[in-house]
Chains A and B, each alone.
Chain A
Amino acid sequence: MTLTHGAIDCDIHPTVPSARALLPHLEPYWREHLLRRGLERESFDISAYPSGSPLTARPDWRGANGLAATNLAAIQAQLLDPFRPSAAICNVLHGAQMMMSEDLSLALCRGINNWLIAEFLDRDPRLRASITVPIHSAELAAEEVERLAGDPRFVQILLLAMAELPLGRRQMWPLYKVAEKYRLPIGIHAGSSFRHPPSAGGWGSLYLEDYVSYAQGFAGALNSLLAEGVFQKFPDLKVVLIESGVSWLPASLWRIDKTWRGVRSEVPWLAQLPTEIVRDRVRMTLQPFDSPPDRAALARVLDQIGSDDMLLYSSDYPHWQFDGMDVLPDGLPPALLPKILFDNPRATYPRLAALNPVGETTA
């Protein structure tokens, strides 16, 4: 299905072409640090999205260097001009978020955020971004959020589903506190920092099994946020699951609802069915949509998700989720489209609330 113009695209991926591109955007100390270690020659590709993997970039979107979406001209020509979103949220997937050294991690994340501002946000008013943060240090992540929260073009904070600790743990709370303070949703993107195997059973051999297991990573992250009481502790916090596959959610919620009924006394702060909390506070980007094989089944999945407010349009550009202009999964009910394409993103991201469908912010 093709798209009506003016949608809010909640997940696109500018790609840092090489660490060298970040050098001008780093603080002098860290620029020198990188150069002395020869790190500017590294790609910092993350194993969840290796640049050579077919999923990572649609073939017709790859440039001469084999990478896609490395510069504004490409993003404009391939995404912004043909699909004409009123806004698109840049989520940069990069090893910066998961360096063993938390300080280096912060320095590189800062570099990425500065690069985003200079190369993209300052140059096309349709672009917005998530704040790239060091995912293994909530304190440093919060510091980076504080640095950038005054810039309204940053609309979200970017985490990965699988990190050193389950995302609900209290060590993460300083970040959630600052997210709530600035009304920035926490965007949880598919992927892992690979401190642990993506499958809880151990390290797999092949990309297929890793990638498919990311859906379980989301279930784990969500279960942790629910069980630890993050949604009660931070009553205004919103969470967006980005590139999760979507259709795993209903079964996972049935399971946690069922189990919670019996062990509620272990988590007494969960005074509501977990499903109700999720419908209220969690949103999911549309692509990739792990569609069932037929339309009737798709309608059932949407029914099981049980809320028209949860899905947010995303192209997942330049990841290869669709061909041509068919960015919307087949069979989405037409009545739901205005919500998915526009109303839900606006309601999810306070900083996009004033956006109108032609992409101008009303005063």
Chain B
Amino acid sequence: MAKHVVARTAEIPPGGRKLVTVRGREIGIFNLDGEFFALFNRCPHQGAALCSGEIVSRLESALPGDYRLSRPGEMLRCPWHCWEFDIRTGQSWCEPNSVHARTFPVTTEPLVAETVDVTIAERYVVVTL
């Protein structure tokens, strides 16, 4: 396992995402209100490019006629068969116990990059893989 710097935090605003390739693997980096999450860009169902799917909320209801929108912008809907996955955990909504999208640990870390005459100190998104 190694750490890989994949983006500057400023590149992925809240609600945004970036597709990166780490050691040959496509990974989607998502920013949920300042927290970063990484999902393998491959749907556990039949392999679609999951991370290009629409970002949606969770529509919940205990009973018909009682509707609640929860977790706004925290679900990812697969572009092929519309299974929905929790961006935070990779858990699928339809079979949470058996179907998961693969996730990777993400941190943000301050790094210093020096060039000839400028020093840029910024936070970077780092994936462990």
- Residues of chain A touching chain B, judged by Cβ–Cβ distance below 8 Å, are 170, 228-229, 232-233, 260-265, 268-269, 273
Contact = CB atoms under 8 A, between A and B. Distances in A.
Interface stretch (B7-15, B79-87, B101-109): B79-87
Contacts of A233: 63-64
Contact of A261 (B61, B66, B67, B81): B81
A268 B71 CA distance: 14
B83 A268 contact: no
Interface residues of B, number: 17
A232 B62 CA distance: 8
Contacts of B81: 261-262
The interface centre, meaning the residue of B61, B81, B95 with most chain A CB atoms within 10 A of its CB, is B61
B94 interface: yes
Interface in B46-90: 56, 58-64, 66-67, 81-84
B95 A261 contact: yes
Contact of A264 (B63, B66, B94): B94
Nearest to A235: B63
A263 B95 contact: no
Contact of A260 (B63, B66, B94): B94
Nearest to A168: B64
Nearest to A257: B94
B63 A262 contact: no
B84 A269 contact: no
A268 B56 CA distance: 14
B16 to A, nearest CB: 22
A260 B82 CA distance: 10
A233 B61 CA distance: 11
A261 B64 contact: no
Nearest to A261: B94
Contacts of A265: 56, 58-59, 84
Nearest to B56: A265
Given A268-B60, A268-B61, A269-B61, A262 B83 contact: yes
A229 B84 CA distance: 20
28 contacts: A228-B64, A229-B61, A229-B63, A229-B64, A232-B62, A232-B64, A233-B63, A233-B64, A260-B94, A261-B81, A261-B83, A261-B94, A261-B95, A262-B81, A262-B82, A262-B83, A264-B84, A264-B94, A265-B58, A265-B59, A265-B84, A268-B60, A269-B61, A269-B62, A269-B64, A269-B66, A273-B94, A273-B95
